[in-house]
Amino acid sequence: MSSNRLLKESRDLRAEMAKSNDPEIILIPDESNLYHWRGSIKGPEGTPYEGGTFKLDLSVPRQYPLSPPHIRFVTKIFHPNVHAKTGEICLDILKTAWSPAWTLSSTCRAILLLLSHPEPDSPLNCDAGNLLRNGDNRGFRSMAKMYTNLCAMESQASRG
């Protein structure tokens, strides 16, 4: 069941990416393992991540879509809901609120939404969470933009 679903998602994603000159989400299964995907998302406009391309690593369990994929950032990012060292993402749909209705693409859209609307009350990166909880939006945006410039801009992203 999971391999059929993943093959369908792969076909749908290829068709979606073919329609756009500059897709905001790119997901590609590993040639030798349908349960391991690589991806990238573009930083949302109006955020300190704008202009950046963030690489993702997706590990899909054999129980998918009944169980959520494991998604982590490969590109370093300064965000309260992303672990600074491991890239782990704190997002309810990746844990307790998962539903088989979610696809890999829609899950990445939820991650994009999280980039636009951080949740500082459940931080994996306490430094980022503390800046936002203490009302230091300028400090947070400055740090997030610095990380984006250093780690996620096209010239840097191609190295990482």
How is the chain split into domains, by residue range? 2-157
Annotated active-site residue 108? The verdict is no
Return the CATH class of domain 2-157.
alpha beta
Give 125-144 pLDDT, tens digit per residue. 999 999 999 999 999 999 99
Of the candidates 24, 82, 80, the one whose C-alpha atom is nearest the C-alpha of residue 51 is 24
- Residues 39, 58: contact at Cβ < 8 Å? yes
Give 77-124 pLDDT, tens digit per residue. 999 999 999 999 999 999 999 999 999 999 999 999 999 999 999 899
Average pLDDT over the chain, rounded to an integer: 94
Q: Look at residue 146 and tell me whether its pLDDT is greater than 70.
A: yes
What integer pLDDT is reported at residue 157 of this predicted model? 42
pTM of the entire predicted model: 0.92
pLDDT band at residue 23 using 50, 70 and 90 as cut-offs = confident
